[in-house]
Chain A
Amino acid sequence: MPHPPATADPAVSLARVTVAFGAGAARYVAVEAADLSVAPGEFVAIVGPTGCGKSTLLNVVAGLLKPARGRACVQGADVSGVMAPCGYLFQQDALMPWKTARDNVAVALEPKGVARAEAISRAQAWLTKVGLAAFGDRYPHQLSGGQRKRISLAQMLIRDPRILLMDEPFGPLDAQTRALMGDLLLDLWSADRKAVLFVTHDLEEAIALADRVVVMSAGPAARIVAQHTIDLPRPREINEIRLDPKFHTIQRAIWNDLREEVLKTYQAQAGGAA
């Protein structure tokens, strides 16, 4: 499919990025020398054991966290502070609790100078897309965790950012809604090929969605240990692609890499607690 990238630069590139928290004896190196590049229009999923530094990497790309060493670039420019082309769906609740669901989505258009009446009607259209048309007047605390995630998704996508950073966006959803949202995301993505960095715990989800799956090692000083290209045909449908025999071959290969790291984390944490 001919999709000429706007520039030859990768959408996201990390070069030997090291992130550390604290100083002195309490210094904790979360990520060590991570190299990662996402081409324009590429869908990359990151998997890794809990606490390895996946959110940390996304924060670096988003410009919320400065790496101790290494270089982070977005569309060829060094990341300095929050950058316009990125949309970020946070792992934690990030909606403004004092705004209704609809206002939370509509307010994302204000920095773009969209008039309020139009913003509201576009927000309503997005609520319909994520299946929450009837919940526009609810406040975040009146929504379930999964509903809040979907509102956040609408809030991010309504701005139409070129690069999507998503941190376990479908974590609190049931399997069925999860597949539905995944299909929605793939639909939107295939329409105008944004670059996506997608963090998930669910290996199957990663394979079903992504062009490439990146495996991170256990922390501290987590590294990127493996990258697997997923050459499954597109367009995909999540519940269908799982049945593809190739899917299982890929899954087994990645799981081999991942299992070791998960065990390492488990042993390290169990040892730390004893």
Chain B
Amino acid sequence: MSRSTLLAWQVGVAAALLAIWHIGSSVSIFGIYFMPKFFFSTPADVLGRVWKMFATGIVWKHLWITLTETALAFVIGSVTGAGVGFWFARKPKLAAIFDPFLKAANSLPRVVLAPIFMLWFGLGIWSKVALGVTLVFFIVFFNVYQGLRETSPVVLANARMLGMNDRQLMRHVYWPSTLTWVFSSLHASVGFALVGAVVGEYLGAAAGLGYLIHEAEGVFDVTGVFAGMIVLALFVIAIDWAVTSIENRLLVWRPQPHQQS
């Protein structure tokens, strides 16, 4: 499928969904609305609200807060996850001791931690960052830990035969392969950083996209809820696009089966 036909199909699907929504919420059949306004709002109202949010500029502050929380959770979670993963990969005994604790911690649904983090870190951004970090940490940790243990023994042996000392091995073998595994979990970890931030805001905050949605729900403002969700979706698409372009730049050396060279 060519790029333009693909785009045409995507626009078509979006238009069809909007049309169903519009008809369901504004055309009555024997006095009954298939999608009552009270529960579903209307596409025109929602898009109008989104437009208003950007036009008046109130949304920027919330976007900025959510972006900050996401970025902090991502950076802190990735650095600690990669650090611990790296350390454990090189110290198998340590890894064996901590293995059950890490598995237990990872199997805990993170939402239950949100109230505790709010007690510890307050209602500001740091409780949201903490929630995001608990999600990001494990993704990066497991990726780096597993990835490093599977580092090609031949590449490593070859580097040693070239006479590299520990510091040089670190720089030319361990570090690049750690980065590879951090990057390969980039999409997932950025996504979870965002989930942590929004869920945290939703459960208690004074700003952010999650807070906007929660506020609107509190007063049964369905238009506001949908508008918040659409802004959130746009935000996610923008971040995902940024991550993809960073990834393409950093992992040029990686074989890409779908790309002809």
User: Is B158 positioned at the interface, with any CB of A under 8 Å from its CB?
Assistant: yes
How far is B162's CA from A107's CA once the two chains are assembled, in angstroms? 9
Residues B127-185 near A (CB distance < 8 A): 152, 154-155, 157-165, 168, 172-173, 176-177, 180
Q: Which of A64, A98, A155 contacts B157 (CB 8 A)?
A: A64
* Residue A229 CB within 8 A of the other chain: no
Closest to B176 in A: A98
Contact count A vs B, C-beta below 8 Å: 65
- Residues of chain B with a CB closer than 8 A to A249's CB: none
Give the docked Cα–Cα distance between A141 and B252 (Å): 11
Given A64-B157, A92-B154, decide whether A99 and B165 contact each other with a Cβ distance below 8 A: no
- A111 interface residue, CB < 8 Å from B? yes
Within 8 A of A (CB), among B230-246: none
Tell me the complex Cα distance, A223–B158, Å.
27
> Is B163 a contact partner of A112 (Cβ separation < 8 A)?
yes
Q: Of B160, B161, B253, which one neighbours A98 at CB under 8 angstroms?
A: B253
Cβ-defined partner of A82 (8 Å) among B155, B160, B261: B160
Q: With an 8 A cutoff between CB atoms, is A110 at the interface?
A: yes
Q: Taking the complex as formed, is A188 at the interface, i.e. its CB lies under 8 A from any CB of chain B?
A: no
Closest approach, in angstroms, between the C-beta of B148 and any C-beta of chain A?
14
Q: Is the CB of B163 within 8 A of A159?
A: yes
A159:B253 contact, CB within 8 angstroms:
no
* Interface range on chain A (Cβ under 8 Å from partner): 20 to 34
Contact of A97 with B by CB under 8 A: yes
Q: Tell whether, in the assembled complex, residue A86 and residue B253 are in contact, meaning their CB atoms are under 8 Å apart.
A: no
**Complexed CA–CA distance, A119 and B252 (Å):** 23
A96 and B172 form a contact (CB under 8 A): yes
Q: For A90, give its contact among B158, B172, B173, B255 (CB under 8 Å).
A: B158
B254 at the interface (CB under 8 A from A): yes
Q: Does the CB pair A111–B157 fall under 8 Å? A: no
Complex Cα–Cα for A139 and B157 (A):
20
- Proximity bits, A85-117, B CB within 8 Å = 1, else 0: 011101011111111100000011011100000
In the bound assembly, the distance between CA atoms of A78 and B160 in angstroms comes to: 18
Q: Which of B158, B165, B180 contacts A111 (CB 8 A)?
A: B165
Q: Which residue on chain A has the smallest CB distance to residue B175?
A: A98
Task: Collect the chain B residues with CB atoms within 8 Å of residue A62's CB.
Answer: 157, 161
User: How far apart are the CA atoms of A107 and B171 in the complex, in Å?
Assistant: 11
Any B CB within 8 A of the CB of A50? no
A267 within 8 Å of B (CB atoms): no
Complex CA–CA separation, A100 to B252 (angstroms): 10
- By secondary structure, the B interface counts as helix
When the two chains form their complex, are residues A87 and B159 in contact, meaning their CB atoms are under 8 A apart? no
A93 to B164, CA, bound (A): 18
Say yes or no: B172 contacts A107, CB within 8 Å: yes
Give the residue of A96, A108, A112, A159 whose beta carbon is less than 8 angstroms from that of B155: A96
> Contact partner of A86 among B161, B164, B252, CB < 8 A?
B161
Given A90, A97, A152, which contacts B253 in the complex, CB threshold below 8 Å? A97
A96 and B161 contacting across the interface, CB-CB below 8 Å: no
* A84 in the interface (beta carbon within 8 A): yes
Option from A88, A92, A100, A139 in Cβ contact (under 8 Å) with B161: A88
**Which chain A residues lie closer than 8 Å to B253 at the CB level?**
97-100, 139-141
Contact call A96/B255, Cβ cutoff below 8 A: no
CA distance A107 to B161 in the complex (A): 12
Contacts A110-B164, A111-B164 given; indicate if A90 touches B159 (C-beta within 8 A): no
Residues of A near B163 (CB, < 8 A) are: 82, 84, 111-112, 159
- Interface positions of A from 145 to 188, Cβ below 8 Å from B: 152, 155, 159
> In the bound complex, how far is the Cα of B165 from the Cα of A112, in angstroms?
11
Closest CB-CB distance, A90 to chain B, in whole Å? 6
Please name 13 pairs of A and B residues whose Cβ atoms are closer than 8 Å in the assembled complex, sorted by A.
A82-B163, A86-B161, A88-B161, A94-B152, A94-B154, A94-B155, A94-B158, A100-B253, A107-B172, A110-B164, A110-B172, A111-B164, A139-B252
A interface, CB within 8 angstroms of B: 62, 64, 82, 84, 86-88, 90, 92-100, 107-108, 110-112, 139-142, 152, 155, 159
- Can you add 16 more A-B contacts, CB < 8 Å, to A96-B173, A139-B252? A62-B161, A82-B163, A86-B161, A93-B154, A94-B158, A96-B155, A96-B159, A97-B254, A98-B177, A98-B180, A99-B176, A110-B164, A110-B172, A111-B162, A111-B163, A111-B164
The 9 A-B pairs at the shortest CB distance, nearest first, are namely A94-B158, A111-B163, A141-B255, A139-B253, A98-B176, A88-B161, A94-B154, A92-B154, A108-B162
